[in-house]
């Protein structure tokens, strides 16, 4: 049997979960995205043609409980190489605030402090009101002005997950009594968009962060 | 009492069914009305079906009492008709439509399990219902995102073997009989799917694993181009399917020991070999497979669910037959025939039809209303004498078909047990949904309708009261030949659904695919 113990992968959740396969033990890999649903792991997406040293990213950008599996081939049978379950404890999480009002961002920041305490993660907040937030809050959260080189920042700071806290695209369809107007992945839970699990048109600005981070 | 229109409108098998005053009145399958197989006409609206319903019975969405929708994917239809149906529309889930459609047409009394399983429908791959005297309780569902589907593996295999999913799965069943156990395929399939002991098949990533290996290992190796390996692949799939279903059946029997009858529905049970295996397990005294086991059965199931809720179908109905589609009058036929100078006709007599069959002609039957479901049962059938070994090749060539499955026999009920090993579940065989072993002494007598590899056949048992005209035709042939059996295949050319219109059938007569057309009143042939 092939020794797969040294398989090298990179999995991060920066505006959607990204899987990088930095390995060539198998000629082709199967990657799977699972989400916690009905007390079990529902498979919501898979791709069975990932070549060595390639990456794939799922669109779903809001915070949810992910499990990712990477399979290889061993004697022509699928073999599970690695599995990763989303876990924020002791991880670096970046929240990118984007809203014109300081009042709203202040509320988001308060919720971010609670989020940090609840999850045991280390939080970075990017905000155009960084200076004011630093002045108003005495907290362990790292507050940043606009990040100039985002990819480099993620790498240097080993950011595990990034969430864009803002009101995303305008909803086009408001109401559908057959409930099929949402993203409906493999018949697991359905969502309003890849950015908001719920119908954000009905949410106040303060509540947007609750929706995106599923607080 | 009410008039209920059931509508199945999904990616395939668009159908409408009408239950009026607690009885099944009519069912129109859009694929038969359009002449286009439903797998090529996805998300078709039931437009022609509704027109026919209005014309034949003066029933429409406006004047009916209830509309039962068997699927969630009906937005456009609902939006279009919102003003008419929104206050009387009921949504019935996919697998409730399957399971109740089967139970409420089974005629079964006492405790009955109704089990459905298919690729997917409304977040479920199948359901288990416990039924008794018209009441039912849903005791289990197989959620799509958490479970696997055996039917899904059949659909994928059909695709890899180069055929059309949702249409050609029967060819895989036929091919399986030519194959043998292959350890490599067996281990692979076992790694993709298993029974979890909780009425589910798992894992939920079965499809991903299946495609991963098929696309990246078997396809590049040429497995699906090699005749022997193709057959072995199909055989192994049938083998795994039977093993999994056996585990499920044993578990169901253990959980519900008082239940000795079972109804089956969903696309998986179009597999007559599997049905035979399950019947022969002997775990249940009687098995009933819904005559329209695939999604065209949903429209009736949904309508029956509403009728059951209203108390208008209190106990399971027993379908006399499934001749519920469109009917064409004698005048229609006369006009059609008279307008075609290349045709001539004579009055219909059963004796004459019996003679034609005996003389080896390929006879198309176009009598009464079109069948509901995938099987032609004597109203839109082609019949041929069953005694010639070469018929399979000859008929495939004449009809321009590529059938692998042997053609099926239609047998007079009175003689069915003399020819086939029929111990139980006789009623469901009126709809050609089960295989049986052929008795040794008959194997050489009717080779055209027996599988030469294993001696099985999927007979249609023809009951005198339920299917009188077909019974008369077979009886006439029996009188002349001594064989109470004819070969029965559907009246259509390659790639077509069962024909529903005179002009379709006349085309087959003119191009010599068939030799005669028999209607209620006339026998038509090409002028010499």
Domains along the sequence of chain B with CATH: 3-96+296-319 (3.30.420.40), 120-289 (3.30.420.40), 325-526 (3.90.870.20)
Q: Which residue of B lies nearest to A48 if distances are taken between CA atoms?
A: B212
pLDDT, mean of residues A198-212 = 90
pLDDT, mean of residues B497-509 = 93
Distance of CA B506 to the CA centre of its chain: 25
Q: Which residue of A lies nearest to B218 if distances are taken between CA atoms?
A: A76
Which backbone phi and psi does B171 adopt, to 5 degrees? -65, -35
From the CB of residue B3, how many other CB atoms can be counted at a distance below 10 Å? 18
Higher pLDDT, B38 or B226: B226
Among A179-193, B86-100, B206-220, the range of highest mean pLDDT: B206-220
Per-residue model confidence (pLDDT) at position B359: 97
First-to-last CA distance in chain B? 55
Cβ contact (<8 Å) for B74 and A46? Answer: no
CB-CB contact of A198 with A63 (8 Å) = no
Does B211 touch chain A if contact means CB atoms closer than 8 Å?
yes
Q: Which helix (H) or strand (E) holds B27?
A: strand B23-29
A187: left (phi over 0), alpha (psi -120 to 50) or beta: left
- Per-residue pLDDT at B402 exceeds 80: no
Residue of A38, A49, A76 lying closest to B213 (CB–CB): A76
Q: Give residues with Cβ within 8 angstroms of B120, minimum separation 6.
A: A187, B144, B149, B152
Q: Which residue of A lies nearest to B190 if distances are taken between CA atoms?
A: A77
Average pLDDT, rounded, for chain A: 88
pLDDT, mean of residues A27-41 = 92
Per-residue model confidence (pLDDT) at position A178: 40
User: Hey, what domains does chain A have and what are their CATH numbers?
Assistant: 9-85 (2.60.40), 92-213 (no CATH)
| Single pTM value for the model | 0.90
Rounded Cα distance between B424 and B278, Å, is 11
Residue of B74, B145, B209 lying closest to A187 (CB–CB): B145
User: Per-residue pLDDT tens for B172-200?
Assistant: 999 999 999 999 999 999 999 999 999 99
Per-residue model confidence (pLDDT) at position B357: 98
Q: Which helix (H) or strand (E) holds B82?
A: helix B82-85
At B111 the three-state DSSP class reads strand
Q: Give residues with Cβ within 8 angstroms of B161, minimum separation 6.
A: B171, B172, B175, B224, B230, B233, B234
Question: Chain B contacts of A50, Cβ < 8 Å?
Answer: none
Closest to B382 (Cα-Cα) out of B513, B482, B503, B523: B513
Question: Chain A contacts of B123, Cβ < 8 Å?
Answer: 187
Per-residue model confidence (pLDDT) at position B82: 72
pLDDT band at A170 (very low <50, low <70, confident <90, very high): low
CB-CB contact of B508 with B354 (8 Å) = no
CB pairs under 8 A between A and B: 72
Question: Chain B contacts of A183, Cβ < 8 Å?
Answer: none
CB-CB contact of B450 with B444 (8 Å) = no
Per-residue model confidence (pLDDT) at position A179: 43
CB-CB contact of B459 with B470 (8 Å) = no
Per-residue model confidence (pLDDT) at position A51: 95
Cβ contact (<8 Å) for B216 and A48? Answer: yes
Question: Chain A contacts of B202, Cβ < 8 Å?
Answer: none
CB-CB contact of B364 with B509 (8 Å) = yes
User: Per-residue pLDDT tens for B337-377?
Assistant: 888 899 999 999 999 999 999 999 999 999 999 999 999 99
Q: Which helix (H) or strand (E) holds B394?
A: helix B391-398
Higher pLDDT, A171 or B338: B338
**Helix-strand-coil split of chain B, %, nearest 5:** 40, 25, 35
pLDDT band at B75 (very low <50, low <70, confident <90, very high): low
Question: Chain B contacts of A38, Cβ < 8 Å?
Answer: 143, 145-146
Rounded to 10 deg, the angle between the B298-309 and B94-103 helix axes is 80
Lowest mean pLDDT among A60-69, B110-119, B402-411: B402-411
CB-CB contact of A208 with A165 (8 Å) = yes
Per-residue model confidence (pLDDT) at position B477: 98
Rounded Cα distance between B307 and B310, Å, is 5
Q: What percent of chain A has pLDDT over 70?
A: 87
User: Per-residue pLDDT tens for B15-46?
Assistant: 999 999 999 999 999 999 998 888 788 778 89
**What Å distances lie between residue A49 and A16, A183, B162, B205, CA to CA?**
20, 24, 20, 15
Per-residue model confidence (pLDDT) at position B335: 87
Residue of A28, A42, A178 lying closest to B146 (CB–CB): A42
pLDDT band at A194 (very low <50, low <70, confident <90, very high): confident
- Per-residue pLDDT at B237 exceeds 50: yes
pLDDT band at A1 (very low <50, low <70, confident <90, very high): very low
Q: How far is A204 from chain B (nearest CA, A)?
A: 30
Rounded Cα distance between B427 and B416, Å, is 12
Per-residue model confidence (pLDDT) at position B403: 72
pLDDT, mean of residues B239-268 = 98
Does A77 touch chain B if contact means CB atoms closer than 8 Å?
yes
First-to-last CA distance in chain A? 45
Per-residue model confidence (pLDDT) at position A6: 65
Does A78 touch chain B if contact means CB atoms closer than 8 Å?
yes
Long-range contact set of residues B33-40: C-beta below 8 Å, sequence gap at least 24? B33/B326, B33/B500, B35/B496, B35/B497, B35/B499, B35/B500, B35/B501, B35/B504, B36/B497, B37/B167, B37/B495, B37/B496, B37/B497, B38/B12, B38/B13, B38/B14, B38/B166, B38/B296, B38/B497, B39/B12, B39/B164, B39/B165, B39/B166, B39/B167
Rounded Cα distance between A70 and A50, Å, is 10
Rg value, chain A, Cα: 19
Rounded Cα distance between B455 and B111, Å, is 34
User: Per-residue pLDDT tens for B122-138?
Assistant: 889 999 999 999 999 99
- Per-residue pLDDT at A172 exceeds 50: no
Average pLDDT, rounded, for chain B: 94
Question: Chain A contacts of B146, Cβ < 8 Å?
Answer: 37-38, 40-42
Closest to B101 (Cα-Cα) out of B127, B74, B124: B127
Per-residue model confidence (pLDDT) at position B89: 86
User: Per-residue pLDDT tens for B414-449?
Assistant: 999 999 999 889 999 999 999 999 999 999 999 999
């Amino acid at each position: 049997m092939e020794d797969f113990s040294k398989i090298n992968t990179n999995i991060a959740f920066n505006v959607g979960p990204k899987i990088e396969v930095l390995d060539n033990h198998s000629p082709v890999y199967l990657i799977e995205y699972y989400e916690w649903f009905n007390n079990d792991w529902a498979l919501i997406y898979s791709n069975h043609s990932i070549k060595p040293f390639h990456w794939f990213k799922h669109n779903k950008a809001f915070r949810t409980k992910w499990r990712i599996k990477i399979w290889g081939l061993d004697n022509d049978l699928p073999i599970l190489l690695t599995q990763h379950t989303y876990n924020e404890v002791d991880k670096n999480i970046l929240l990118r605030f984007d809203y014109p009002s300081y009042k709203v961002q202040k509320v988001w920041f308060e919720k971010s402090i609670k989020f940090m305490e609840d999850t045991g993660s280390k939080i970075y907040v990017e905000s155009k009101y960084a200076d004011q937030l630093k002045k108003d809050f005495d907290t362990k959260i790292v507050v940043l002005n606009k990040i100039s080189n985002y990819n480099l920042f993620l790498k240097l700071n080993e950011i595990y997950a990034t969430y864009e806290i803002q009101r995303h695209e305008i909803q086009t369809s408001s109401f559908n009594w057959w409930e099929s107007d949402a993203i409906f992945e493999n018949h697991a839970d359905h969502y309003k968009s890849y950015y908001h699990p719920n119908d954000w048109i009905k949410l106040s600005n303060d509540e947007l962060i609750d929706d995106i981070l599923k607080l | 009492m009410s008039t209920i229109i059931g509508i199945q409108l999904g990616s395939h098998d668009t159908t409408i069914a009408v239950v009026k005053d607690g009885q099944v009145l009519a069912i129109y399958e859009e694929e038969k009305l359009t002449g286009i197989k439903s797998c090529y006409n996805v998300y078709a609206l039931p437009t022609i079906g509704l027109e026919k319903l209005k014309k034949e019975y003066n029933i429409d969405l406006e004047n009916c009492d209830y509309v039962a929708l068997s699927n969630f994917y009906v937005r456009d239809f609902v939006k279009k008709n919102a003003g008419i149906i929104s206050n009387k529309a009921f949504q019935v889930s996919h697998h409730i439509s399957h399971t109740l459609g089967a139970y409420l047409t089974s005629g079964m009394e006492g405790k009955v399990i109704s089990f459905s399983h298919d690729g997917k429908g409304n977040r479920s791959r199948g359901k288990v219902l416990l039924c008794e005297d018209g009441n039912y309780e849903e005791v289990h569902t197989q959620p799509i995102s958490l479970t696997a589907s055996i039917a899904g593996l059949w659909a994928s295999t059909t695709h890899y073997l180069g055929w059309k999913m949702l249409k050609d799965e029967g060819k895989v069943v036929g091919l399986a009989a030519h194959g043998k156990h292959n350890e490599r395929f067996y281990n692979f399939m076992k790694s993709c799917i298993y029974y979890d002991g909780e009425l589910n098949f798992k894992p939920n990533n079965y499809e991903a694993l299946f495609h991963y290996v098929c696309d990246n290992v078997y396809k590049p190796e040429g497995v699906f181009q090699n005749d022997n390996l193709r057959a072995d692949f199909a055989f192994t799939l049938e083998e795994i399917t039977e093993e999994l279903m056996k585990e499920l059946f044993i578990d169901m029997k253990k959980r519900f020991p008082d239940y000795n009858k079972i109804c089956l529905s969903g696309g998986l049970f179009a597999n007559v070999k599997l049905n035979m295996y399950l019947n022969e397990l002997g775990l249940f005294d009687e098995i009933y497979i819904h005559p329209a086991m695939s999604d065209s059965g949903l429209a009736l199931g949904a309508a029956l669910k509403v009728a059951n809720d209203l108390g208008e179908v209190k106990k399971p109905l027993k379908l006399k037959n499934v001749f519920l589609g469109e009917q064409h009058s004698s005048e229609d036929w006369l006009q059609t025939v008279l307008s075609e100078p290349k045709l001539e006709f004579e009055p219909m007599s059963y004796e004459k039809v019996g003679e034609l069959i005996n003389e080896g002609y390929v006879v198309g039957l176009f009598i009464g209303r079109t069948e509901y479901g995938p099987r032609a049962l004597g109203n839109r059938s082609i019949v041929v004498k069953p005694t010639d070994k070469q018929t399979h090749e000859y008929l495939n060539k004449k009809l321009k078909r590529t059938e692998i499955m042997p053609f099926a026999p239609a047998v007079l009920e009175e003689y069915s047990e003399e020819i086939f090993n029929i111990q139980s579940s006789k009623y469901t065989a009126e709809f050609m949904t089960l295989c049986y072993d052929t008795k040794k002494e008959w194997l050489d007598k009717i080779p055209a309708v027996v599988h030469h590899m294993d001696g099985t056949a999927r007979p249609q048992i023809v009951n005198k009261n339920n299917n009188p005209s077909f019974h008369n035709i077979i009886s006439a042939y029996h009188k002349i030949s001594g064989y109470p059996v004819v070969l029965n295949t559907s009246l259509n050319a390659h790639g077509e659904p069962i024909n529903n219109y005179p002009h379709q059938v006349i085309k087959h007569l003119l191009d010599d695919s068939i030799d005669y057309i028999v209607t209620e009143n006339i026998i038509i042939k090409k002028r010499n």
